């Protein structure tokens, strides 16, 4: 769903930008669509709320 580059490495960033450019419009559109699907699947509001509840419970013992 995307490209990673090394932290504080402008050469790595340039490499990944070149890869992005090389994909062309259709490839970039497909990457964007996959990214949207991932966000919808993994960051649904109810799922995020449930993860917060689980974390709070594991840290405090309280159930919300």
Low-confidence ranges of the chain (pLDDT < 50): none
- pLDDT value for 64: 85
Helix/strand/coil percentages in the chain, nearest 5:
75, 0, 25
Q: What pTM, to 2 d.p., does this model score? A: 0.69
- pLDDT value for 1: 76
For the chain, domain boundaries: 10-60
CA dist 26 and 30 (Å) reads: 6
- Cβ pair 28, 20 in contact under 8 A: yes
Tokens of 35: 């990214």
| 53 HSE (CA, 13 A, CB side) | 8
């Amino acid at each position: 769903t995307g490209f990673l580059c090394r932290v504080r490495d402008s050469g790595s960033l340039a490499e990944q930008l070149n890869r992005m450019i090389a994909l062309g419009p259709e490839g970039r559109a497909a990457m964007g669509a996959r990214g949207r699907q991932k966000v919808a699947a993994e960051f649904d509001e109810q799922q995020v709320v449930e993860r917060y509840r689980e974390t709070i419970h594991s840290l405090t013992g309280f159930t919300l």
